[in-house]
Structure formats: structure tokens, C-alpha cells
Structure 1
Amino acid sequence: MSEQQLIESTRDPATAVYDFEVPAGEPWLHELKAGQTLRIVDLKGNQAVDTLFYNAADPSERYSAADTVRGQGNIYLTTGSRLRSDQGRVMLTIVADTCGRHDTLGGACAAESNQVRYALDKRPMHNCRDNYLIALAESDYDMGKRDLTGNINFFMNVPVTPEGGLTFEDGISAPGKYVELEAAMDVIVLVSNCPQLNNPCNAYNPTPARMLIWD
């Protein structure tokens, strides 16, 4: 269930057509064309990069955790994982991964979940759901809270207990670890570089993430 496929990339950052550092705790939204490859780099280690994907031609088709898990028979993502949409189509494939395991079940932090999980006074804290909504509101896409669905938590360690529950544990990533995804269709990539301060998903210390794209 947690077999890792550690594969390094041969791509040179100097040849990337796009290179951007997402600040700690901030959102990022970008289109990735079919055939392009996106590398997400965990610059400081154990930073959770909460990510959603949409079909750029029709955003009502979007990444589906259920279809992805069912298609590969594994709740974790690593090299070779094919990310499927809610129509069962492959959106992206992980073609390189130096971390080895990424979460599909833990979801994104929100004001409500922070309050329930931690304390009432945590509700006003900035969170991934807010990041998503801010990025969409500032974009040209006619999208909003109804378009938010189950996301991928790249670099996040969320083991499943024998009883079927989830726990948020110290990360298994490290500075410079990365994951690369090749797009099978034009996709909108929506990221929250998680600002979470209440669990060890990012060592209680949000840090930047680097995004590189190759044609």
C-alpha cells in the first residue's frame, strides 16, 4: 500500500521555461499544457503542497482522489501514478519522485477543520481553503468554492491506522526533494503552499516551494 518508486529526473532546471518560488503559506495558480512537465520542489523539507487539477478546457472535469486511488489500487502517489479525473481520464502522470510517497486522503486545512481539530481560537488562522478561494477570485476563471474538491498533499505524511483512521505525522521529505508530473491534457494547477501551524505536516514551519515547467 505504501511502496515507493524513487526515480530521479534528468531535466536541467536551467532549461525550464518557467521557474517560480511560491512563498510560504501562499497560493499559486498556473496552466500546464499537454506534454509539459511540472516539477514541485520541497525547498526546505516537510512542506505540504496542497494541489488541485482541473481540465483547462472544461474545469467541471477535475482531479478525483477516488478514481485515482481505484485506478492504481494504492492510496499513496509516487512515480508511475496516473492522476485521474472524475471522468476517469488520465490528467497527469508522475514521472519522477525523490520523496517516494504523497497523500491523497488528508484533505486541505480550513477554518472549520482547524477549529474542530485544534481549538476555537485557531479558526481565524490562514488556511489552504482560503488560499484556493483567493487564487480563484483573483483569476479569470469562473470558479469558486463549489469547485473545490479533494486535493493531493504532495510531501505530506498521513499514515492510515489499523482501524482505518488517519494521523498527521512528521514528514518523510527533506530539503530539495521533488515530484515531477507530465500533463496528458491542458490543466489548471491550483496550489496552496500550506500555511498550517498546528500539525507536523510541515514541521510547524511553512516554507517556500519551487515550481519549474519544461516543454
Structure 2
Amino acid sequence: MSVRAEHRTDSVRNARDDARAQTGLTSEWMPYLPASTSPFVPKGVDPAGLTWAETVAPGGYTHKVLARGSRLRLDDPTGQACAHLLVYNALEPVERLNVADTLKIGWQAYLGAGTPLLSGDGRVLAGLVEDSSGHHDAFCGTTTETWNRNKYGDGRPEGPSPAGRSLFLKAAAKHGLTRRDLPPSISFFQGVRVTADGTLDWLGSAGPGTHVTLVAELPLLVLLANVAHPLDPRPEYTVGPLRVHAWRGAPTLRSDAGPELHRAHLNTVDYAEARGL
């Protein structure tokens, strides 16, 4: 600590004055409060209706509880974001995203508009209603500290190449959850496809300016980690900013889904109505 800085905080009064002098300081990576002050409000969205607005730093994370019916929009402004996502039933977080059920019950290996995100309890936690990217992944999960240490030389959450699982753990802890509460995640904006011989092919980004929008079919706890994809072949830790916006709306449970998904929708409505949602 410099002599000058030490002098500013050498008493309670000086420490208070020093803290107050920094009131107006901001960071481009902090949430916009109120959310209506976001400089990146999506077209067609009323700023006054926003409940969450934030730009997540490369290698950063965030978390939020959203009301049922909320729209959650993720934007990749540079073509380098990789939004790793976990969602939980905010009322009972033991109910959480089940990637295997999301794929097998929907008979679809790839995420896109119309994909419901299912829990292990046979309910729809959220639905993907808009997708201008098409480059996503439900196979690989996110990175671990060991993976990033072997690839980049460091995987610590406070280091230059943080791992997604460690950031998820930090976000989860703020809601009373632990390592055992972290299931496999999905990711948006860096695509993966299965080749004819069964190997996984990394497609990378669809380019800058793409977005996805999800609707919360139940009250959601959302965890996001913006970290490099585990299959990204580039030797440098490469990830860009992720923009996040949410606003209130109504759930959009479908009645035209196939028989398996129709049952999941009915389970969700039954759960919500029993709780007055």
C-alpha cells in the first residue's frame, strides 16, 4: 500500500471519506443498476421493463433469480463469447437442468429455437424461443481447473484462464449450493457437432452479433460462466464479452409438442398452479 493510500484510510473517518469518494466509479463488467440504464437494450424491449442487465467479462461469471415468465436474452457482440449455462428451479434448487433428458426426450441432439430445457423431475425449466446463432453445445459441459491448467498453464478462478466449473462453484455458493449441486451444463455461441465416426467437431462461432432468448417456465436460478469452450483448439485462452438482459413476461408452454414433451409441459403447469404461480 502506498503512503498516500495508507493516509486516506488511517482512521475510520478517512476510510469513510475515501469510500465515498469512489461512489461514482464504475466498471464495464458490473451490473447496470437500475437495469433500465443499460446502454445495450435489445431492440423492441422497453428499458423500463428490464429486471437484469449486465455485461459479463471474458473469464467472468454471474447469477440471478428470475420470475416465472421472464425472458432471458444472451448476446455475443464480438463472436468470441461462450455462455455456459446452468438453470435450477429457484423454489427447490434440488430440481435442476438435466442435459441428458433435454436431448433424449426431445429427440434432438442440438440446441435451437424450440428446445425445452428439462429437469430430472420431468418438467420444463426454460424454453429456447429465439436463436440467431445455431452454434451451441450440449455434449462437452464446461472446463475444469485441471483441463485449463494442462492447456493454458492456469485454471484458477482468479487467474488469467479461469475454468467454468470453478466459476459455477463460486456462483452456486452465493445461493447455498455446493460442488455436488453442479450438474453438466450447456453452452451457447461456440458450436459442436458429432461427425460420422462419432468424434466431436468444434465449429466455433457463427460470428458477431448473434443472440439467444430463453423463457423461464418456472422461477429460475440462473448461473452463467463466460469461459473458453473445452474443445476450442486455439492455444490462447480466447473469449469475448457476454451481454445479458432479462425482462418480465408470461410463460409460453406449448400444447403442440410431441407426446414426451407434452407430458413435461403438463407436469410444469401442474407444479406452477399448485404454488399459485
TM-score norm. by structure 2 comes to 0.66
Letter in structure 2 aligned against 1:210: R
What amino acid maps onto 1:155 in structure 2? F
After superposition, give the CA deviation of every residue in 1:52-95 in whole Å (9 maximum; x if it has no partner): 00110111110011111012211111111111001111111111
Residue by residue, what CA displacement relative to the aligned partner does 1:12-40 show, whole Å, maximum 9, x if unpaired?
26354122111111011001110110000
Q: Secondary structure at the match of 1:146?
A: helix
Question: What's the counterpart of residue 45 of structure 2?
Answer: 12
- Higher relative CO (Cα under 8 Å, sequence separation at least 6) belongs to 1
Larger radius of gyration: 2
* From 218, 233, 242, the counterpart of 1:209: 242
Structure 1 Cα separation of the partners of residues 229 and 118 of structure 2: 27
Distance 1:146 1:82 in 2: 24
**How many residues align structurally?**
201
Could you say if the C-alpha distance between residues 60 and 162 of structure 1 is closer, same or farther in structure 2, counting changes exceeding 3 Å?
same
Classify the secondary structure of the residue corresponding to 1:167.
strand
Kindly state the Cα deviation for residue 198 of structure 1 after the two structures are TM-superposed: 7.9
Contact 1:26 1:195 in 2 (8 A): no
Paired residue for 1:3? none
> 2 CA distance for matches of 1:16 and 1:100?
27
CA distance in 1, matches of 2:57, 2:92: 29
| 1-structure distance, mates of 2:85, 2:242 | 12
Displacement of 1:100 in angstroms is 2.1
Residues 187 and 47 of structure 1: is their aligned pair in 2 closer, same or farther, counting only changes over 3 Å? same
Q: 1:134 aligns with which of 170, 173, 183?
A: 170
Residue type matched to 1:14 in 2?
A: P
Give 1:62's aligned residue: 96
Of 114, 117, 124 in structure 2, the residue corresponding to residue 80 of structure 1 is 114
Match of 1:100 in 2: 134
Q: Pairwise mapping of residues 43-62 of structure 1 onto structure 2 (< 5 A)?
A: 43-62=77-96
What is the RMSD computed on CA atoms of the aligned residues?
A: 2.3
Q: Distance in 1 between matches of 2:109 and 2:44?
A: 28
Q: Label 1:196 to 1:83 Cα distance change in 2 as closer, same or farther (>3 A).
A: closer
Q: Quickly say closer, same or farther: Cα 1:95–1:169, change in 2 above 3 A.
A: closer
In the alignment, which residue of structure 1 is the partner of 2:222?
189
Q: Deviations over 1:108-166 (max 9, x none)?
A: 011123356x37x45554210111112223x1x22011011111111121121222222
- Structure 1: distance between partners of 2:112 and 2:77: 18
Q: Distance in 1 between matches of 2:59 and 2:46?
A: 24
- Counterpart AA for 2:168: Y
* Residue 157 in structure 1 maps to residue 191 in structure 2: yes
Q: Are the aligned partners of 2:189 and 2:204 in contact in 1 as well (CA < 8 Å)?
A: no
Q: Which residues of structure 2 form unaligned runs of 5+? A: 1-41, 249-277
Determine which structure has the larger helix proportion and give its number.
Answer: 2
The DSSP-based 3-state class of the residue aligned with 1:68 is helix
Q: 1:170 to 1:84 in 2, by over 3 A?
A: same
Paired residues of 1:23 and 1:209 also in contact (CA < 8 A)? yes
Distance 1:195 1:104 in 2: 15
Query: 3-state DSSP class of the match of 1:66?
Result: helix
State the secondary structure of the residue aligned to 1:168: strand
Q: What residue number does 1:199 align with?
A: 232
Please state whether the residue corresponding to 1:134 is helix, strand or coil: helix
Contact 2:135 2:203 in 1 (8 A): no
Task: For residues 91-111 of structure 1, give each alpha carbon's deviation from its aligned partner in whole angstroms, at most 9, with x where no partner exists.
Answer: 111111111242111110111
1:159 is paired with a residue whose SS is strand
Letter in 2 for 1:109: T
TM-score between both structures, scaled by the size of structure 1: 0.84
Q: Which residue of 2 aligns with 1:148?
A: 182
Q: Percent identity?
A: 30
Structure 1 unmatched ranges of 5 or more? 1-8
